[in-house]
Chains A and B, each alone.
Chain A
Amino acid sequence: MARYDRAITVFSPDGHLFQVEYALEAVRKGNAAVGVRGTDTIVLGVEKKSTVKLQDSRSVRKIVSLDDHIALACAGLKADARVLINKARIECQSHRLTVEDPVTVEYITRYIAGLQQKYTQSGGVRPFGLSTLIVGFDPYTGVPSLYQTDPSGTFSAWKANATGRNSNSMREFLEKNYKETSGQETIKLAIRALLEVVESGGKNIEVAVMTKEGLRQLEEAEIDAIVAEIETEKAAAEAAKKGPAKET
């Protein structure tokens, strides 16, 4: 097997592209990221590692704007992310210049996925070690979308998804608890999913909300307030479960 992961262009006998799979491993080691689509809101949440005390956290923005109506969060190699994000931003403006229209979410996702695929079929290069969650509103229909891409270059649309560390647990939680939500409920659902795998607290989570008006990064205080709300709801649910049992 060791002979089939040297140059990316080589398939293994059983049809694997090992470099791509190793890239997915890198993604699995990256920070947790979650995206939830509501009817009028789409929420992105990313885990923030709080171990670095001297670092100025404002310089590490994990959820970025690609255009006025598109935002991206990712899990994996952050340096690779910078390159992809830069290219995507240029493409957003280039599209506006050539056709005088903003990009649709699907277009820019296809573009980013296309870039990721190109690097799985070229000589001497390695794939990008990251999966992205791309959110936005269609500039004409106003329909919200959430897309995910991965190092192999595949992409698809989702109602809610997670990537990075413990993404399976988050996805399971979302599968069990997803329902059509809007506004604050969507934000709560995204944070609840993230809290399944992340230490609770505003300084461990970065949350951004995309509405028709644009992207809004939530303040730490706001996140703390919502987390507190979620904890009280959880406690109330626990108490309700135990309550009736005691009476009998």
Chain B
Amino acid sequence: MECVFGMVGKRFALVVADTSAVNSILVHKSNEDKIMVLDSHKLMGASGEAGDRAQFTEYVQKNVALYHFRNGIPLTTKAAANFMRGELATALRKNPYMVNIVLAGYEKETGPSLYFIDYIATLHKVEKAAFGYGSYFSLAMMDRHYHPDMTVEEAIKLAEQCIEEIRSRLVVAPQNFVIKIVDKDGAREHSWRRTTKD
């Protein structure tokens, strides 16, 4: 039931995630932030097993920070994506992390980029990505309306359309969504789309 999706626009990238924390029929909370700010210019939207999600994303965040201190420059988005994939792959045949990740980043040299990393260590560099049951609806919506070099307004409108589709067509749709954006000014929260207050 967890929905995470993302897309690349003109000199920015967007990641949208639902904010529900669910255990069978109980909703623990509807303001769980699943999009981690990895460093100043990277966003990591993660879905899957809650414990694995926290464990893996925090582990990656600290290692990205360590690289920065050791080498004086931050990891590129591509490097971070490959690091994550490597960790997932190593753990896969012993103690797999059940986490799916949409990684968005911005570099001055290469611009915005988006990576699709699933729990069995698949890595794809993409323009749009989605995970979960919501992906059936958001991917279809994005396939129809996405075009390269969208403005922020166009991308937000498309994200809203995807959220509407998920809300109306998914039987147990999440109540609230958070939208985060990364561009030359850094990674930050953009806005929320709520149906309930928590």
Interface residues of A (CB under 8 A from B): 61, 65-67, 86, 89-90, 92-94, 96-97
Chain B at the A interface: SS class:
helix
CB distance from A138 to the nearest CB of B (A): 19
Question: Cβ of B62 and Cβ of A89 under 8 Å apart?
Answer: no
**Number of interface residues, chain B, beta carbon within 8 A:** 9
Number of interchain pairs (Cβ within 8 Å): 21
Q: Can you identify 18 A-B contacts, CB atoms within 8 angstroms? A: A61-B72, A65-B69, A66-B69, A67-B69, A86-B70, A89-B66, A89-B69, A89-B70, A90-B66, A92-B69, A93-B62, A93-B63, A93-B66, A93-B69, A94-B62, A96-B65, A97-B59, A97-B62
How far, in whole Å, are A66 and B69 apart by their CA atoms in the complex?
7
| Shortest beta-carbon distance from B111 to chain A in Å | 27
Q: Please list the residues of chain B having a beta carbon within 8 angstroms of any beta carbon in chain A.
A: 58-59, 62-63, 65-66, 69-70, 72
List chain A residues, Cβ under 8 A from B72.
61
Contact A93–B70 (Cβ < 8 Å): no
CA distance A96 to B65 in the complex (A): 11
Bound Cα distance A121, B63 (Å): 31
Alpha-carbon separation in the docked complex, A40 to B17 (Å): 41
In the bound complex, residues from chain B placing their C-beta under 8 Å from that of A89 are 66, 69-70
> Given known contacts A89-B70, A90-B66, what 12 new A-B pairs fall within 8 Å (CB)?
A61-B72, A66-B69, A89-B66, A89-B69, A92-B69, A93-B63, A93-B65, A93-B69, A96-B62, A97-B58, A97-B59, A97-B62
User: Would you give the shortest CB distance from B62 to chain A, in whole angstroms?
Assistant: 4
- Which of A61, A94, A97 lies at the interface centre, i.e. has the most chain B CB atoms within 10 A of its CB? A97
Tell me the smallest distance from the CB of A102 to a CB of chain B, in Å: 11
